[in-house]
Amino acid sequence: MAITAGIDAGAKNTKVVILREDVVVGRGTNPTGFALSEAVEKAFVLALEEAGITRDQVDRIVATGAGRKAVHLAQGNVTEVTADARGANRLMPSARTVIDVGAEEGRGISIDERGVLVDSAVNEKCAAGAGAFTEAMARALEIPLEDIGELSLQSTKSIDMNAQCTVFAESELVTLVHSNTATADIARSVHDAISSRITSMVRRVGLEPEVMLIGGVGYNVGFKKSLEEDLGMKVTVPEYPEYVTALGAAIIAKEQLGGA
């Protein structure tokens, strides 16, 4: 019985998935912070504990994510888009469009029925196109990041946010707060803003149903709602959306072992 692991060394969090044959038996996560190796080790140990195995039992490890080349535990690495495609396909074979919004990057991916990557587009190196935008806005609103999604669902009207830069949007948001705009409406405008940027990126790869949203932002119900409105399509968020990339890497590790 092959046991493999996928390690997704993301900009913000490192995620590990352990697969026994085709079943997920362990997950672990730890903030990446400024010490990647430490984060990888901690997340890996957590996943091993949950799986109830020792590290010697793991046959192969594949890394992915921004820090994938610095994951010394791994025997190989794959790009995030390749891992995303494989992970999403495993969870939902009908998925043709995968949207992965992480802390520092947003990706739109089109995949075929076998989970092979067709095209991809990335929003990178600009916080306005990634989860960092929502985080900064939650901070400016002085509410926990986990709450901004639910809060925006209570909004009764939409407001346009003019600023396209996270730094400028922070000031715009403070102005809105001072002019007594309802916090729920501001929260919605935050999600509408990031959703419109993600949508235009996704349209570049061609939008085909079914659409799957993965990455940590998948937990944000407010963003999901804005995205569904912008895309004009239902969006499915799997259980544990932040682990899908690591799952894809673990699946690839198993394929690389052969005899699949």
Give me the residues that bind other proteins (CB under 8 A), please.
Answer: 34, 104, 119-121, 123-129, 132, 136, 142, 162-168, 196-197, 200-201, 203-206
Q: Shortest approach of other proteins to residue 104 CB, angstroms?
A: 7
Q: Toward other proteins, which CB reaches closer, 215 or 238?
A: 215
Name the region of 36 (left: φ>0; alpha: ψ -120 to 50; beta: rest). alpha
Contacts of 124 (CB under 8 A, 6+ apart): 104, 105, 106, 130
* Cβ-based burial of 203 (10 A; exposed 0-12, middle 13-18, buried ≥19): middle
Q: Toward other proteins, which CB reaches closer, 4 or 14?
A: 14
Contacts of 210 (CB under 8 A, 6+ apart): 92, 94, 95, 96, 97, 234, 236
Q: Toward other proteins, which CB reaches closer, 69 or 204?
A: 204
Contacts of 29 (CB under 8 A, 6+ apart): 13, 14, 15, 16, 43, 46, 242, 243
Q: Shortest approach of other proteins to residue 11 CB, angstroms?
A: 8
Q: Shortest approach of other proteins to residue 76 CB, angstroms?
A: 26
Q: Shortest approach of other proteins to residue 195 CB, angstroms?
A: 11
Q: Toward other proteins, which CB reaches closer, 14 or 120?
A: 120
Q: Shortest approach of other proteins to residue 148 CB, angstroms?
A: 17
Q: Toward other proteins, which CB reaches closer, 50 or 104?
A: 104
- Strand 211-214 and strand 235-236: the pairing is parallel
7, 249 contact by CB (below 8 A):
yes
